Structure formats: structure tokens, C-alpha cells
Amino acid sequence: MTMNDRLRFDVPLYTVADAARIVDVPASTMSTWANGYVRRPHGRPEVVGDPVITQLTPRRAGEPTIPFVGLAESLVLAAVRRSGVPMQRIRPALVELEREIGIAHALASRKLYTDGAEVLYDYGESHRDTPEGRSALKLVVVRSKQGVFTDVVEAYLRRIEYGADGYASLIRAPAYDTARVVLDPTRAFGAPIFERGGAKVDDVLGRFWSGELIEDLSAEFGVPASELEDVLRVASRRAA
């Protein structure tokens, strides 16, 4: 395994809170994806949900636990969430998808993009009389007699680039309207960076908060002012 491979699979790069900000979901949602959950509704049986993204064991409390491959998996789940399909309804279909695709980290693989819609469609058709089957069908549509992902899911999957091994190697962050922010484990240790120039988003934000003008930062880092304003908009929304 090369160093680049190790950075994607074996090195914890993100905390749960980091990953939630990057894929633009609540931290509580990301926590259930990473840690699973146990719910004890009054008068009803206990409900247990297993983790659905890759998380590594931290050496110390508060340290990052999610590797790049786990971040890619969470982006796919964010697409499911954006589609309005409840995660508890789609979990059985995801298990079937990973079994059918037949590789580890299936949600972070190119095979999900090429084969996943057909798998979910077949699952949905064979379980059409169940809530889980109907939920799976909400993620796919039939075009030219073939199951493909809905536009929402497709748009998220297009944010992932894959390496020669077929696994995610670069992610374009979904939280922004115009800013081109990417995550690449070989650059800035996986932190969000501007695609143009490669400056870390947090570094540029820090300079702005310290009093520097957008025009000056745009000239120095080679990032259009419109992208800087978009990043500031998202950061301000999260701080509110």
C-alpha cells in the first residue's frame, strides 16, 4: 500500500464535527452515521442502528477519527438525506448494495457510481411491498430501460473523483454555491482548500476575520472575490 493509499484509508483526518461541516449535515446526523445508535422508545422494542461510514479508533479523546474514505461515504449518505429518504428505511438496501458490489467501502467506490443504481432498483422492485423497498426506489429512476440515480444523488456523486484503484481520491465540497472547494488527502492533509491556488479555506478565513479585505485576499491567493464571498457566507451561516 502506497502512502497515498494509507492517507485515504488508514489515517484519521476528520472529526465527526469536521466531516459534518464538509458534507453539510448536522453533527448529530454524522454522529449516528459514524457511531450508530440505540433508541429505546417507550413501550416499544429497542431500535439499534449500526455505523454506516468508516471510523477509526482514536488514540486520544477529541482527535480525528474519520479517514478520507469515510468522508466519501458520508457524502453519499448526505445525497440520500437530501433526497428525503429516511436513513433507517434505506439501511437494508445499503447492506444489499455493499453485498452485491462485493468490495469493502462500496459507498466510496466507482462501482457505486456505475452499478449502484441498478442494485438499488433491483432491491426496490423485489421489496416493493415494504417501506424499505419503496425508499430504495425513491433514489433511482428508469431512463432508457435502465435504473439510474435521481438528479439529486447524481449531482452529489459527481462531486467525487476516483483514483486508479477505483476509490474516492478527491471530493468537491457541496456546501457552496459558487466556491470551488476541494478535499484531497495528498494536499493540506485533507483540509478544505480552494481548487484555484490550493490555499486552505481556514487560512483565508482567518486572514479575513483579522481585518484583511476580500479584494486583497483575492489578489494574493488567486481566488475570485465571488468565491471568497461564498465561503464567508457559509462560514457566517454556521457561526450564527
Query: pLDDT tens digit string along 74-104?
Result: 999 999 999 999 998 999 999 999 999 999 9
Using pLDDT thresholds of 50, 70 and 90, give the confidence band for residue 40. Answer: confident
Query: pLDDT tens digit string along 148-183?
Result: 999 999 999 999 999 999 999 999 999 999 999 999
- For residue 220, pLDDT beyond 80: yes
Report yes or no: 155 and 143 within 8 Å, Cβ to Cβ: no
pTM for the full predicted model: 0.92
Q: What is the CATH number of domain 175-240?
A: 1.10.10.10
Using pLDDT thresholds of 50, 70 and 90, give the confidence band for residue 211. Answer: very high
Domain ranges in the chain?
3-174, 175-240
pLDDT computed for residue 42 by the predictor: 72
